[in-house]
Structure 1
Amino acid sequence: MTAKQGFARPQLGLTLVEILIGLALLSIVFGFAAPSAVSIIDKHRITAQVNYMSSVLQYTRHHAVDQHIIAALCPSDDLRTCNVNDWNLPKMLFADHNHNGMRDQNEALIHATPKMPSGVFMRGPNKIVRFYEDGTIGTPTTILICPQRAQQTLNRALFISLQGRVRPSQDTNQDEIHERGNKQALVCV
């Protein structure tokens, strides 16, 4: 039998209308999914930085106790001098034997971190974080880790007690916003 006798050939493509309907449906689905995906990515970036910075602080404390030295951690753009005004810079861990806030020739670089990734910023103290031989720190310190886009539910902090213990911020009142120890919401300015 031939096509002329009533059998149609199977369709091998899509019509323009079918393609346009498919594209419209896809754009609607991605329009709803994209904002939540961005929020999930931001949350994972913040969590990764909190975990990484917590481990760096704990390593600094451990190194001070283990080596019986004063271990200093600070941001630095040249891995020689500290620049406590910008905690987004790479951070260096070194033994600051003479307390001058810079890594001298006889002070080895113990560890260096990369700069903060895009989408995340860090605010720290206006001083070097120093852990003493017994693991203590001179002043309680807070380090804020926040998203570049203002989203208060993603603001996080690391608190360092006088004893040198590092503790992450928590949402104690279940409102999805982490608080300081005094129950005030974390604010990244």
Structure 2
Amino acid sequence: MGYNSTQQGFSLAEMMATLAIAAITASMAVPTMKGLVANSQLVSGTNDLISTLHAARNVAITRNAQVTICPSSDAMHCNDAQWQEGWIYFVDNDRDRQVGSKDEVLGAVNGIANITILSQEFEQFLVFRPNGQIMVNTTAENSGEILLCDARGREFSSRLILHVGGKPEMVLGGIDSAAYKNCSAA
């Protein structure tokens, strides 16, 4: 009596070929995934800053008060922190650009990982006047920009431009300014 059996399963050669194709596909996907994560972090940090700018400007106008935004590593005081370590914004009733007993802290943003935030005009603080216009490090300046970047450099950065009216304008990527030559996450 003859028995006719068919083999079921995969040979070793077939399994190795399948694993090789899967490994090649995965190796191509990893850099793309890293780029997506980096883009997501940069967009998130930019959105946090834009939200703060809009909220601070809105409070300045509606309360007819000066509102200050400054770097803060402890979410309570303006200090020598870098912007990426976090910031606070507050109604600056005594207009000294420091949180005091007469001032009201409106909000704080914790540090943003893997992002560097640079600004020449807003290095120490950014102030919204009661009319919604901005004042920067000196009373003579009325506009400036903030650059957010990561380890990929200026090509993948986002820049916020603040004109005298106080509304931020966002420009993505390709920042070619010598002022930001060291733009990369620390």
- Following superposition, the deviation at residue 178 of structure 1 comes to 4.0
The yes-or-no answer on 1:144 pairing with 2:147 is yes
Q: Which amino acid aligns with 2:105?
A: L
1:97-176 equivalences under 5 Å are 97-116=93-112, 118-124=113-119, 125-138=122-135, 139=141, 140-147=143-150, 149-170=151-172
Please report how far the alpha carbon of residue 134 of structure 1 lies from its aligned counterpart in structure 2 after TM superposition.
0.4
Give me the CA root mean square deviation.
Answer: 2.4
Quote the Cα distance in structure 1 between the aligned partners of 2:110 and 2:158: 19
The residue type paired with residue 160 of structure 2 is: L
TM score, norm. by length of structure 1: 0.80
1:79 to 1:152, Cα distance in 2 relative to 1, 3 A:
closer
Q: 1:84 to 1:163 in 2, by over 3 A?
A: farther
Task: Report SS of the residue matched to 1:52.
Answer: helix
Quick one: distance in 2 between partners of 1:156 and 1:94?
A: 25
From 30, 36, 60, the counterpart of 2:32: 36
Q: Look up the equivalent residue of 1:153 and give its one-letter code.
A: E
**1:177 paired residue number:** 174
Q: Percent identity?
A: 19
Specify the structure having the higher radius of gyration (Cα): 1
- Structure 1 residue matching 2:116: 3-state secondary structure: strand
- Per-residue deviation, residues 38-82 of structure 1 (Å, max 9, x unmatched): 223322322232223112101111110011110011121222321
AA aligned opposite 1:135: G
Q: How does 1:1-80 map to 2 (within 5 A)?
A: 5-11=2-8, 13-80=9-76
Distance 1:87 1:110 in 2: 17
- Deviation of residue 22 (structure 1)? 1.5
Letter in 2 for 1:68: N
Measure the CA separation in 2 of the matches of 1:20 and 1:145: 45
Runs of at least 5 residues in structure 2 that lack an aligned partner in the other structure: 136-140
C-alpha distance in 2 between matches for 1:165 and 1:179 = 23
The unaligned stretches of length 5 or more in structure 1 are 171-175
Closer/same/farther in 2, CA of residues 126 and 85 from structure 1, 3 Å limit = farther
Could you tell me how far 1:98 is from its partner in structure 2? 1.9
Shift of 1:90: 1.9
Q: 1:93 aligns with which of 89, 92, 100?
A: 89
Note closer, same or farther for the CA distance 1:46–1:73 as it changes in structure 2 (3 Å cut): same
